[in-house]
Every structure is written in structure tokens, then in C-alpha cells.
Chain A
Amino acid sequence: MHWLHRARLWLDITRSQGIARRYFVVNGFDGALTMLGLIMGFAISGASDLSVVLNACLGAAIALGVSGVSSAYVSEAAERRKALAELEAAMGKELGDSAHGHAARWVPLLIALVNGAAPLFISLFILLPLWLARAGVALPWLPLHTALGCAVVAVFLLGVFLGRVSGQHWLRSGLQTLFIALLTMGLVLLLE
């Protein structure tokens, strides 16, 4: 059986698609807003050394990724072990070699990867303009402003994704999350 088909079967029998989707949005949102807050902080401080900004933001992105992987793995593994033990009690037999046993071992890892990858990759997307600027690529706006634009776009797209999941109109949902991003920027501006 193809690994993708197996992964889908495991997510299906543990009913974990919704959990993975929720983690993707929740932690992705965390990543985007953290980067937005950090870059706003650097922007209002007048930071001009892109290496310092990049290293600080990368450090936060890596920490968010590691935190996402480890916290989701620990909690999901415990939940899956509990669910498997209850099912084994109901079935009156061990299910270690069945799809349920494989799912109990692999689903926590899959969910943990989603939970960790979402903030990491969204953060890397937001930091892309800073990398490009440091590499000498000419940007239409200042690097920090371009990165802020990427963060706003990422938050809006997460809202659009949420809208598609919930059946809400994509624009309405996107504008809701966009409002949260703008509110965050406003709150950081109060530091000035």
C-alpha cells in the first residue's frame, strides 16, 4: 500500500484529519503573528541590520517549530495510546499489528510534523524578503515592510483556508483574520 494511502487510512480510522487541520491553522497563526510582532518591533525600533533581524526571527521560528513538534507529539501519543487501550479492551485482543496499532504509533508523529511545520514554513515565507534583501535582490519596498506585507498575506490566507474548512465565505473569513493581524500591528505600535 502506498505510504500516502496508509497515512490517509490511519488518519481516517483515528478520525484525526480535523485535529491535523486545526493544529495547522492554530500553530500557523501563532507563527505568522509572532513574526508579525517581531518584525513590527524591529521596524519601529529603526533596526537596519538585516542579519540581526533575520537571526532573531529565525531563532523564534525554529523555537516555534520545535515546540510545535514536541508538544503535539507528547499529547497526541498519550491520547492515541489511551484510545488504543480502550479499543483493545472492547475487542478483547491486542491490535498492535493492525491498522489501529500502526495508527497509534504514526498518527502522533504526523500530527506533530504538521503542528511544527506550519509555524516554521509560514515564518520562513514571511522572512523571505529579508533573505532576498540580504542577498542583494532589489525589493519594491523596504525589506521589513515587505516582510510585514508577507505576514499580512499569510494571515489572510490562513483565514481563507479556515473559511473553506468551515463553509464560511472565504473573503469574510480572510478579512476576520486580517483584522486580527492589523489589531496586533496596532498594539505593537503602541510601544513606540
Chain B
Amino acid sequence: MINVKRLVLDVLKPHHPNALEFAHAIAATGPDCRVQVTVLEVDEKTETLRVEVTGSALDFGRVHEAIGQCGGSLHSIDEVEVCSDGGA
């Protein structure tokens, strides 16, 4: 079993919900999900974010869905950390 431990995502989203509400929505996708959002660029109607999600077994599908529910668009997966069962 391969578990996703860490994801770094490039996301474009509308101004609302704000970064805090956006992080809350992603954190709600897993029991020990830790989310760090960095706003990289702000345009008239949108903002570009670097979203770092860490947890023991992240569900990428749910994270992607949460981003979509907030009106966000996943542009790229910039970093991934996975490990198999028994791994560090």
C-alpha cells in the first residue's frame, strides 16, 4: 500500500473563499491533514496559491474535489512525497 504523505500544489482560485477558508476546506479531507497556503500572486478576480498538504495518508481525489468546490483550479502538482507501508 502506497500512502501519499505530502503534496505541493499550484492552484488558481477566486478571492472568495479566502485563504483561511480554503485551507479549512482542504484540511477537512483527512483526519490528520496539515495545510499550508502561500499566496503567490493576486489578480483582479483570482489569486495563485502554493498549497502544501501533509498527512499520513492523503486522499488526492478528495483534496482535488475540495479545491474544485471552493472554485479553485489545480494547475500542477509540483512536489509529491509518498511511501509504502512500513516506510519512514
Contact = CB atoms under 8 A, between A and B. Distances in A.
Contacts of B43: 90
Nearest to A101: B71
A14 B21 CA distance: 14
Given A91-B71, A91-B73, A100 B14 contact: yes
Contact of B71 (A12, A15, A86, A95): A95
A9 interface: yes
Contacts, number: 43
Interface in A77-122: 86-87, 90-93, 95, 97-100
B81 interface: no
B70 interface: yes
B17 A92 contact: no
A15 B45 CA distance: 14
Interface residues of A, number: 16
A99 B17 contact: yes
B16 A15 contact: yes
B38 interface: no
Nearest 10 CB-CB pairs, A to B? A90-B45, A98-B71, A13-B16, A100-B71, A90-B46, A95-B71, A93-B73, A87-B14, A13-B17, A98-B69
B7 interface: no
Question: Chain A binding site: helix, strand, loop or mixed by DSSP?
Answer: helix
A93 B71 CA distance: 9
B18 to A, nearest CB: 9
Contact of B46 (A15, A91, A97): A91
B27 interface: no
A99 B70 CA distance: 6
B22 to A, nearest CB: 11
Contacts of A95: 71
Interface string B1-41: 00000000000111011000100000000000000000000
